[in-house]
Structure 1
Amino acid sequence: MSARVVTLAFSGVEAVRVDVQVQFTRGDPKFFLVGMGDKAISESRERVRAAFVGMGLSLPARRIIANLAPADLPKEGSHYDLPIALAIMAAMGIVPPDALEGWAAVGELALDGRITAVTGALPAAVAAGGMGLGLICPEACGPEAAWAGETRILAAPSLIALVNHFRGTQVLSPPEAGQMLDGERVPDLRDVKGQEHAKRALEIAAAGGHNISFIGPPGSGKSMMAARLPGLLPPLTAEELLQTSMIHSVAGLIAKGQLTRARPFRSPHHSASMAALTGGGLKAKPGEVSLAHNGVLFLDELPEFGTQALDSLRQPLETGEVVVARANAHVRYPSRFQLVAAMNPCRCGHGGPGKGACGRAPRCQTDYQGRISGPLMDRIDLQVEVPPVTAADMALPAPSEGTAEAAARVAQARRLQSDRARASGREGVAVINSLAEGDWLETIADLEASARALLSRAAEAGGLSARGWTRTLRLARTIADLEGVESIRRVHVAEALIYRRVAPGVASAVTPAALT
């Protein structure tokens, strides 16, 4: 007697088909699990045995072999309990042999036969639908799996409920998708007094999806402005929502199937390890860079992070994905995020001239900022110096413009980018300016002669690397989009160069006249 049930193995956010093959043979009544499973899978035997006892059943007094095929694919997790139990019941004749055709199953078993929640229900449902299968999952995972669209979902509270459903005595209803939440309320940009230059840079960063860093003494409003960036960003598109939610599903961050169109905002502590930032650990879980996919990664006190951890961000910042390497597999996670960093000018926080200035300046300042490698800083498009907020600033009334007004300008600039891409037949491609490259960047640049001359002069003076040239061009394109003009003018390039903090030798190229 034998039976087969389809289940899924996870590799990042991708799900791979696995066949659970069960066979009863003659010999000692033992239960063998084969197929390169981890510790959680080897313990499935006892959970399945106890769940059968909870239903008033017992395993047959035969030699039971459960094979997870393909055998050379590493498998981990407790979601194999349910397909193993279903395959055994099908071989015993408890479930009609053809009832499980057209279904994949994931779920962990409690000792009393209940089916408990597992992570990854959404990517499992998407993968099952792509294979032309429905998905059997725990009742608690039903609202999450139902977001997969046309995939048939069967969400059961227990094994006995599944048996009754397949026998036709108690039919289970399809689950409804969970709620779409608005997300947490984002603080208003109107709360920030003064710092008009920094707020302008934040708006530019939001409009083009550019990386930005704030450098200034404690209390100058760096973290306040970073926390207000999500309010300037447009909501997730349907495609971005699915991508982000699948990562959060694998990480177990979706509660009751509730999704949100608000962009992720992740703010790890500076003690975070490299594995915590980029992913890894025992089961190669997604890290902060992947949990921030299509959103914002905020790194406060940037120089306090480990050097190795910071440099591990260079690959995902450039490629939009991170690869967690293992001896027997490579796990890929998407990680297209917008980096926002904040840092003090030196360890004491008061580097530079003025009252309370650091007594070890400029060496303290140089040593502290030197913890951040040049290649990482080269990937940050806007490097903004934030001066202290004065008493005069605090005495001013609240600014007339806040998040709503700035967000409207950001939305208009993003519509320009989207319309430009649509007119060129680039639908479905990431079209924000920070991702433009190659021929597409040359197409959208449209530099006026004076603007190109200024950019060339800055590059010749040694203030721009090849990457810096590209990122300055992207930044100037965004500044022009905020003004609603098609051509990039000299003033746009000049402002972009200021934010890039070019070398002192290039300062003469960016004169006040260039900004007029």
Structure 2
Amino acid sequence: MFSKVLSAATFGIDAYKVEVETHSEKQLPSITIVGLPDNAVKESKERVLAALKNSGIDLSFKKITVNLAPADIKKEGSAFDLPIAIGILAANEIVNQNLLEKTLLLGELSLDGSLRKIKGALPIAVEARRLGIENIILPKDSVREASIVEGINVYGLECLNEVIQFLNSENNFEPVHTDKDEVFAEVNTYHLDFSDVKGQENAKRALEIAAAGGHNIIMIGPPGSGKTMLAKRLPTILPPLTFEEALETTKIHSVAGILPKDKALITERPFRSPHHTVSDAALIGGGSIPRPGEVSFAHHGVLFLDELPEFKKNVLEVLRQPLEDSKVTISRSKMSLEFPANFMLAAAMNPCPCGYFTDPTKECTCTTAQIQKYMAKISGPLLDRIDIHIEVPPVKFKELSSASSGEKSEVIRKRVVAARQIQLKRFAGLKNIYCNAHMGTKEIRKFCKLDNQCEELLKMAMTRLGLSARAYDRIIKVSRTIADLENSENILPQHISEAIQYRALDRELWGH
């Protein structure tokens, strides 16, 4: 007897349909799985046989062949356990095949027949809806993320016997639906707030500008000045995620298997902070079958690199492509995968190896050569992609002991959102440009015209402060954002003046 069960697998952050074809005949008992299965799929026959026996089903004296089509794409993971088990049962006429044509199945089987959580439920549900499939059966722990997809019946079942009952129409299971409006109503419940930070008004202002224009930012200051504290609060002032952004971000976390089982969607901008010992594969993504890395997990959010010079040089250099292209391409001999990586880079570092070069109260013990060697760990091309450099001085005791709190994140966010709306209107119709940080030379010439006074001010800054050539475009882009925050149509001299202050690492202070 023959049966066909619909299933799916993920490729990158998208899914594709897999047909599980099963042939059963009376011969010496054996199960053969073909169609480029990996070890986890090959091992599924042991899990399936044990799950069938412990669910009260005996299939002795049967030769079973299972084909996973298309047979030229490598299949991986344990999510094919359930469709293989159902395929065997359908081929042996234990399960009715009527519903199989319009039902997609996925799930890992425990030896007792219960279903375990799988990766990639959300992109698979999206693909199932696109293909016009009516039902999708998933383990109960994976159903929440898939249920956000409208136009398809998503069922979360607990064990193999429940799946058999569903397919034989012996039980009226109810599909699970999650209201996306209800999910988004829970958004922005941040536990951190900018009002927690004492002093550091200049740094807060720089972070507001960075958030308003989507600019990458680096903070330089001695230990304990509040760089990490400020960076952790950056997502609280970024514009709220749209549904499309939330869906794309959740897809990445879903295929990596790091989405909590009780979470339908990621509704807050991600904040990722890998340790400086991270490898280039963990940061960018990789593996024999490529997996997303930290830059993709930070998609539509913030990637924070603390102690930037402590990262290995090759790790920092691989950041250049995602910072430029907002995506990561991972190529292997048999495949090439693309993961989105549109994130804001926030970095923090000490001004020298001992950390006290710019501290007014503590003496720096580093030589000029040591400081220059330390700063040289960050290459010019990487620094070229960071628009704002801000010095973060130590907080004075008077500010620390002050009872008054600063502006709340909610207030700052309103200004940021207003500035972003201006930019969305400005760049309407332009591909892949949504904020000032994305502007290229052509857009800068078109949208950032300077009058003679601004040109003179910029020329003077370039020569007197020893700013590098790379700073020119960055200053103009940042000044455009400052003008947007003030709802000014033109870039004015005061906007240029403020933007010049945010190029600390381009000055000759540190030997650059």
Q: Is the shorter-chain TM-score for this pair beyond 0.5, marking a shared fold?
A: yes
The aligned residue for residue 145 of structure 2 is 144
- 1 CA distance for matches of 2:419 and 2:216? 17
Q: Which secondary structure does the structure 2 equivalent of 1:332 belong to?
A: strand
Inter-partner Cα distance in structure 1 for 2:89 and 2:383? 59
**Aligned residue in 2 for 1:497:** 500
SS in 1 for 2:364: coil
Measured in 1, the distance between the counterparts of 2:76 and 2:482 equals: 48
Q: Tell me if the contact between 2:329 and 2:337 (Cα under 8 Å) persists in the aligned partners.
A: yes
Distance across 2 between alignment mates of 1:373 and 1:498: 21
- Contact 1:464–1:502, Cα closer than 8 Å, also in 2: no
Q: Hey, what does 1:42 align to over in structure 2? A: 42
Greater shift in the superposed pair: 197-206 or 251-260: 251-260
3-state DSSP of counterpart to 1:254: coil
Q: How many residues end up aligned between the 2 structures?
A: 502
Are 2:75 and 1:72 equivalent residues in the alignment?
no
* Residue from 386, 390, 412 that aligns with 1:384: 390
Judged with a 3 Å threshold, the aligned counterparts in structure 2 of structure 1 residues 151 and 211 are, in CA distance, closer, same or farther, namely same
Matched, 1:3 2:3: yes
1:104 Cα deviation after fit: 2.0
Q: Which residue of 2 aligns with 1:478?
A: 481
Moved more, 4-13 or 339-348: 4-13
The answer to whether the aligner puts 1:197 opposite 2:198 as a matched pair is no
Which residue identity lines up with residue 472 of structure 1 in the other structure? I
Range with greater deviation from structure 2 (277-286 or 101-110): 277-286
CA shift for structure 1 position 504: 4.6
Distance change (3 Å), C-alpha of 1:366 and 1:438: closer
C-alpha change, 1:128 and 1:439, in structure 2 (3 Å) is: farther
Q: Is residue 169 of structure 2 the alignment partner of residue 182 of structure 1?
A: no
- Aligned partner of 1:259 among 259, 262, 265: 265
For structure 1, which runs of at least 5 residues remain unmatched after alignment? 507-516
Aligned position for 1:409? 415
Structure 1, residues 276-303: CA drift from partner, whole Å, max 9, x if none?
2112235432211111110011111111
Contact 2:13–2:339 (8 Å) recurs in 1: yes
| Contact 2:419 2:487 (8 Å CA) reproduced | yes
Q: Aligned equivalents of 2:209 and 2:447: distance in 1?
A: 17
1:456/1:136 CA distance change after superposition, 3 Å:
farther
Which one-letter code corresponds to 2:88 in the other structure? I
- The alignment partner of 2:20 has SS state of strand
Which of 231, 245, 264 aligns to 1:226? It is 231
Question: In structure 1, what is the equivalent of residue 162 of structure 2?
Answer: 161
User: What TM-score does the superposition give when structure 1 sets the normalisation length?
Assistant: 0.90
Letter in 1 for 2:72: D
**TM-superposition CA deviations, 1:334-389 (whole Å, max 9, x none):** 11111111111112111247443222232222121211111111111101111222
Range moving further from structure 2, 435-444 or 275-284? 435-444
Give matches, 1:308-319, under 5 Å: 308-319=314-325
- Which amino acid in 1 is paired with 2:346? V
Secondary structure at the counterpart of residue 172 of structure 2: coil
| In the alignment, structure 1 residue 488 sits paired with structure 2 residue 494 | no
Query: 1-side partners of 2:167 and 2:468: how far apart?
Result: 67
Whole-angstrom distance in 1 between the partners of 2:331 and 2:406: 51
Are the structure 2 counterparts of residues 488 and 165 from structure 1 closer, same or farther at C-alpha, using a change threshold of 3 Å? same
Cα 1:400–1:385 shift into 2, 3 Å: closer
1:89 aligns with 2:89: yes
Instruction: Quote the residue 2:448 is aligned against.
Output: 445
**Is 1:107–1:116's contact at 8 Å kept on the other side of the alignment?**
yes
| 1:170–1:400 Cα change, 3 Å | closer
Q: Secondary structure at the match of 2:274?
A: coil
The secondary structure found in structure 2 opposite 1:147 is coil
Which digits, 9 at most, give the CA deviation of each residue in 1:89-148, with x for residues without a partner?
A: 221112222321022221111112112111111111011111111322112212211011
Distance 1:465 1:73, change over 3 A: farther
The letter of the residue matching 1:308 is N
Any idea what SS the aligned residue of 2:286 has? coil
* 2:354 corresponds to: 348
Q: 1:273 to 1:52 in 2, by over 3 A?
A: same
**Pair 1:487–1:371, CA change in 2 (3 A):** same
CA deviation map 1:454-511 (0-9, x unaligned): 5577779994556x544433222111101111112233233323313474589xxxxx
8 Å CA contact retained: 1:236, 1:262: yes
Distance 1:162 1:199, change over 3 A: same
Counterpart amino acid of 1:404? E
Residues 81, 108 of structure 1: 8 Å contact kept: yes
**2: distance between equivalents of 1:114 and 1:351?**
61
Change (3 A) 1:198 1:100: same
SS at match of 1:78: coil
Match of 1:101 in 2: 101
How far is 1:437 from its partner?
Answer: 3.2
For structure 1, which segment, 353-362 or 97-106, has the greater mean C-alpha deviation from structure 2 after superposition? 353-362
Comparing 170-179 and 2-11, the one that deviates more: 170-179
1:299 to 301, 305, 309: 305
- Residue 59 (structure 1) shift: 2.7
Deviation digits for residues 1-26 of structure 1 (CA, Å, limit 9, x no counterpart): 21112222212211122221111246
**CA shift in 2, pair 1:364/1:38, >3 Å:** same
User: Is the contact made by 2:148 and 2:265 (CA closer than 8 Å) also made in structure 1?
Assistant: no
Is the deviation greater in 400-409 or in 263-272?
400-409
Q: Secondary structure at the match of 1:101?
A: helix
Normalised TM-score (structure 2): 0.91
Which structure 2 residue ranges, 5 or more long, are not aligned? none
The 8 Å contact of residues 252 and 292 in structure 2, kept in 1 or not, is answered as yes
With over 3 angstroms needed to count, the CA separation of the structure-2 counterparts of 1:353 and 1:185, relative to structure 1, is: closer
One-letter identity of the residue aligned with 1:499: Y
Whole-Å separation in 2 of the counterparts to 1:258 and 1:454: 51
Match of 2:292, SS? coil
Whole-angstrom distance in 1 between the partners of 2:461 and 2:92: 77
In the other structure, the counterpart of 2:130 is: 130
Query: Is the contact made by 2:146 and 2:264 (CA closer than 8 Å) also made in structure 1?
Result: no
Contact 2:188 2:240 in 1 (8 A): no
1:245 maps to: 250
- Alignment partners' CA distance in 2, 1:465 and 1:81: 59
Amino acid across the alignment from 2:383: M
Contact 2:288–2:332 (8 Å) recurs in 1: no
Provide the C-alpha distance between the structure 2 equivalents of 1:70 and 1:465, rounded to a whole number of angstroms.
Answer: 53
Aligned to 2:400: 394
**Structure 2 counterpart of 1:497, which letter?**
I
Q: 1:60 to 1:407 in 2, by over 3 A?
A: same
